[in-house]
A and B are shown apart, each in its own frame.
Chain A
Amino acid sequence: MSSFGFGLISAAVLAIATVGFTMQFAVTNVLNLAYGSIMINSAFVTYYVNEHGVNAWVALVGGVLTGAIASWLLNRFVYTPFQKRNLAPITVVIVSLGIDLIGTFGLQAIVGGGYVSFTQNQGREYHFAGLLLSSLQLIVMGICVAVLVGVHGLLKYTRLGKAMRATSANKNLARNSGIKTQFIISTTWLISGALCGLAGTVFAMNAGVFEATSAQLYIVLLLAAMFLGGPGEPYGAMFGALTIGLATEVSAAYINPDYKDVIAFIALIVMLMFRPFGIFGSEKTN
């Protein structure tokens, strides 16, 4: 039962991250494999602000801003210029892998190879329905719910959100209908980057200890969650993150923690082989 609790926390962190990741894919068709490196950079910014005496939850703003700005810069000055050259999508993916190396190991060069942890306490524990959760974990879950509701509201009820959906469905059509797609794409990268920074920070808080390379393989879970729900589908990402988060932790309890990520890997490979557009998604026009 407690593994269900851990699953909820993993799922919450993963959901925040996956929604941002999938939004980037939706509007720009880029599999941004450098996402994990921006997450961990944001976490370190929060950490250092926190180390200077600022409350961790306030310092979080620094991490969120880092994620937003770094993601926006990345799209504006790297991905967009490459995409303008009309290259195969794989080229941009390779570029993103290169950026991931620069981001992760550039950070490591600065902060060193050691690990750090947030000094704040996990807070008191709460028991309900057989789950044991610390207040930190409850806050993380609260943030996650707020983010998901916020994204839902944005997409459903605001002009910006509707324009984002239109842009992701068909960029040319959206442009022809008078939507400023360039502006929409920039805004999406700012918002998804903020989610990335937020996810990175809560990931690090939940992790206990973390180092520059901690998020390197997190991208696999992100990809698994995204492909499960359908690439580019924010609601699918929420579903995928919940499923993968729970499945890995519950399988850890019943099989063997060493193999807990295996279920995510297998889910991803099966999805790619049989339904690359996700469980709920459907084929798209080009």
Chain B
Amino acid sequence: MNGKTLTWSGSPAVRMRKRLTLLVAVVALIGATVGLPGTAHASAQPHSSGVALTIPVVAPFTGVDAALGPIYETACLAATQEINLVGGVLGHQINCKTVDTRGDPADAVPAVGQMYATTKNIAFVIGCTSDEASTVVPVFGSNKTVSFCMTGESEFDAVKFPYFFRLVPPDAADAVAMVAIAKNKGYKKIALAFGNDAGSQTFVAPAEAAIAKAGNMKIVSNQTLDINATTFQSEAQAIVAAKPQVIMMEALGAAGVALLSEVYQLNGKKMIPIIGTSAMIDPTFFAGITKAVGTQNFIKNFDADNQVSTGNTPAYPLFSKLVLAQKGKVKGIGNVATLLQAPGMVHLYDAINIASLAMVMSGSTSGSVYKNDILAITAGAPGAKVVSSFAAGLAALKAHKKIQYLGVGGTYHFDAFHTSFGAFEDMHYTAAGTTVNAGTLNPALLNSLKAF
């Protein structure tokens, strides 16, 4: 045995030579790569006409948040289907490509490194949830890649990234909308129950602040849920004992269902009304909770805040047709019909149209050139033609008109941090698991509750 094993034997001199060879090889490799002319910034170079462009969907496709990636991918397929049909962007067809971050900020960095290594002609990036935005957004920025992110993380309220855009409000605004729904319904005693994951915890502080600002409301119980736990009897008991009129919550995965079914059991089989975040608009959650407490019982007692994305915007009919056409094309997604108002579906669809129109308008596929036109197209200008699809925008641009994009999610106005707040609505589930708008929230009310 001993003689045959793979040891690095030999005299010290030989070993030293091996070591030197290794060192030389490493140095040479590094030198060669660093010294290469025109390194990186592939997407900053204008792409030659006729070559297909790619939209990487950088999101979790595996791990706890694996449900998100497929939604974003569907949005990409839906939007690009229409764009490619009318000839693409500046003569380029557009493809979608998935980049799995596994929902882990550290895993996301090499994933994005690999994306740049293996993807030619990146148009822009969509996805980047709160799971990975912190680590990947700076990378996109230095590669001059425009990114549309689905993160509400507060660090993006504090630091400016020129290539970063988000079509979702900061988490703080989401939390304020939940409090506004509670105020509309006249609830005064409130319980909070948020998962201990990063995404859910960001709601807690702004919700507390908004409740304090509302004046006549008070928090009677505040629970943090370990999203990996299987039972929340103590938490449920604490909530029930506090006799709240409503529970504000976000708990992903099994935790939400487990908590609510235990609250239901402990409360003598009576639901306590729930106000969830938009992340609670989720087919798996719906399936689980209706099984636990009964469908009618659940939908009567559940509200979620959501950015307005009603079925009555002019963009909606085409959008829903395109999304439904993607049925069966993406793995790991439930019934796409239930996802027509999922934030990622709506906003990323709009994002792709906006960015594609910006490319057409600037005549360039280079992010550093067209990113300013993203602002122009969303803000609009006096006399601009309002368009609700890529085809309409393209036609208007060809006619040398100014345009403003009115998307599925309404109009978008990016602030100095490239965040678009939008309007909020109170959303309900239907018995079939789809969603309906139960009323748009009064912007004045939202403003009065805002503590930031």
Contacts and interface: CB of A to CB of B under 8 A. Distances in A.
Give the dominant DSSP class at B's interface.
helix
A251 to B, nearest CB: 9
A8 to B, nearest CB: 11
A117 B253 CA distance: 13
B196 A207 contact: no
Contacts, number: 69
A173 interface: no
A257 B230 contact: no
Interface string A102-133: 00000000000111010100100100000010
A257 B258 CA distance: 15
A210 B237 contact: no
B234 A209 contact: no
A189 interface: no
Nearest to A248: B234
A283 interface: no
A206 B229 CA distance: 12
A204 B223 CA distance: 23
Interface stretch (A58-66, A73-81, A159-167, A211-219): A211-219
Contacts of B261: 117, 208-209
A2 B240 CA distance: 11
Interface stretch (B284-292, B373-381, B392-400, B443-451): B284-292
A3 interface: yes
Given A208-B230, A258-B196, A115 B238 contact: no
B233 A6 contact: yes
Contact of B258 (A134, A208, A253): A208
A209 B233 contact: no
Contacts of A207: 230-231, 258
Contacts of A275: none
A249 B236 CA distance: 12
A211 B254 CA distance: 8
B257 A115 contact: yes
A113 B107 CA distance: 19
Interface residues of A, number: 32
Contacts of A208: 230-231, 257-258, 261-262, 292
Contacts of B230: 203-204, 207-210, 214
Contact of B284 (A114, A214, A257): A114
Interface string B202-232: 0000000000000000000001101010111
A43 B253 CA distance: 19
A253 B234 contact: yes
A257 B235 CA distance: 6
Given A114-B284, A117-B292, A208-B262, A249 B254 contact: no
Interface in A213-269: 213-214, 216-217, 249, 252-253, 256-258, 260
B299 interface: no
Most chain B beta-carbon contacts within 10 A, residue among A9, A134, A206, A256 = A256
Contacts of A210: 230, 254
Q: Which of B223, B231, B235, B253 has the largest number of chain A CB atoms within 10 A?
A: B231
A256 B223 CA distance: 8
Contact of B265 (A117, A134, A211, A217): A134
Given A207-B231, A209-B288, A115 B237 contact: no
Given A114-B284, A115-B253, A249 B226 contact: no
B234 A249 contact: yes
B224 A258 contact: yes
B223 A115 contact: no
A3 B237 contact: yes
A5 B261 CA distance: 18
B238 A117 contact: no
B90 interface: no
Nearest to A124: B269
Contact of A115 (B224, B235, B241, B288): B288
A132 B196 CA distance: 28
B66 interface: yes
A157 to B, nearest CB: 36
A44 to B, nearest CB: 13
Contacts of A9: 233
Contacts of A3: 234, 237
Contact of B238 (A203, A214, A257): A257
Contacts of A260: 234
Nearest to B241: A2
A122 B238 contact: no
A211 B262 CA distance: 17
B266 interface: yes
Given A206-B231, A213-B228, A6 B237 contact: yes
Contacts of A206: 231
Contacts of A2: 237, 241
Nearest to A6: B233
Contact of A132 (B231, B232, B266): B266
A203 B291 CA distance: 20
A257 B228 contact: no
B238 A253 contact: yes
A204 B262 CA distance: 14
Contacts of A203: 230
A209 B223 CA distance: 19
A77 to B, nearest CB: 25
A109 B45 CA distance: 43
Nearest to B260: A208
A222 to B, nearest CB: 15
Contact of B226 (A6, A117, A122, A258): A258
A214 B227 CA distance: 11
Nearest to B63: A113
Contacts of B232: 257
B175 to A, nearest CB: 20
A6 B262 CA distance: 12
A210 B233 CA distance: 14
9 contacts: A113-B66, A206-B231, A208-B292, A209-B230, A209-B254, A209-B257, A209-B261, A257-B224, A260-B234
Given A125-B268, A209-B230, 20 more contacts: A2-B241, A3-B237, A6-B233, A6-B237, A115-B253, A134-B265, A203-B230, A204-B230, A208-B257, A208-B261, A209-B254, A209-B258, A210-B230, A213-B228, A249-B234, A252-B235, A256-B224, A257-B224, A257-B238, A258-B224
Interface of B: 66, 196, 223-224, 226, 228, 230-235, 237-238, 241, 253-254, 257-258, 261-262, 265-266, 268, 284, 288, 291-292
Interface of A: 2-3, 6, 9, 113-115, 117, 119, 122, 125, 132, 134, 203-204, 206-211, 213-214, 216-217, 249, 252-253, 256-258, 260
